[in-house]
């Protein structure tokens, strides 16, 4: 099976990175086993750094560096040289994820964010929940 090329929004990604026993920890295994390839741009990586620096996570520079080392080497870097026209999202921090999904020719944008999910009917790249993408991965791996 060809690995899915996915854009993971920040909330999904932070949950996968910070909570080893959490409901999204399977994503780490998925990118490490190359069942999927996460896409990353400069803007989405900057957003990840911004969120990981929130005081509520109590992460030092070494902690953040360790988390990034468990993610970025598995990513396919995409340079969004000319941001494509995408539907305007209520949260401006979500725009780079839409641009990356379209410009990077992603198979899906994975999110739990209702603002992004609301755009699913009008966006050319599927916008899906982590649960839906997990089902898709499991179905593609099961013998027919």
Q: DSSP readout, 13-47?
A: HHHHHH-TTSTTTHHHHHHHTTSEEEEE-HHHHHH
Count of residues for the chain? 144
**Check: CATH 3.50.50.60 for 4-141?**
no
Statement: residue 93 has pLDDT above 90? no
Q: What does the alpha-carbon distance between residue 137 and residue 29 come to, in Å, rounded to a whole number?
A: 12
Q: What are the residue boundaries of the structural domains of the chain, listed by start?
A: 4-141
For the chain, give the mean pLDDT: 92
Res 49: pLDDT: 96
Q: What does the alpha-carbon distance between residue 142 and residue 144 come to, in Å, rounded to a whole number?
A: 6
Q: What does the alpha-carbon distance between residue 118 and residue 3 come to, in Å, rounded to a whole number?
A: 26
5: β partners: 37
Q: What does the alpha-carbon distance between residue 40 and residue 19 come to, in Å, rounded to a whole number?
A: 21
pLDDT digits (tens, 9 = 90+) for 117-143: 999 999 999 999 999 999 998 887 766
Whether pTM exceeds 0.85: yes
């Amino acid at each position: 099976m060809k690995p899915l090329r996915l854009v993971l929004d920040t909330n999904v990604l932070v949950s996968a990175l910070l909570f080893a026993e959490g409901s999204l920890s399977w994503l780490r295994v998925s990118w490490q086993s190359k069942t999927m390839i996460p896409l990353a741009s400069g803007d989405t990586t900057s957003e990840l750094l911004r969120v990981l620096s929130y005081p509520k996570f109590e992460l030092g520079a070494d902690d953040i560096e360790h988390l990034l080392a468990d993610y970025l080497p598995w990513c396919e870097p995409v340079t969004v040289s000319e941001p494509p026209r995408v539907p305007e999202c209520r949260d401006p921090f979500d725009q780079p994820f839409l641009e990356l999904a379209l410009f990077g020719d992603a198979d899906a944008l994975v999110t739990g964010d209702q603002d992004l999910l609301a755009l699913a009917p009008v966006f050319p790249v599927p916008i899906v929940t982590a649960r839906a993408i997990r089902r898709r991965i499991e179905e593609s791996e099961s013998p027919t």
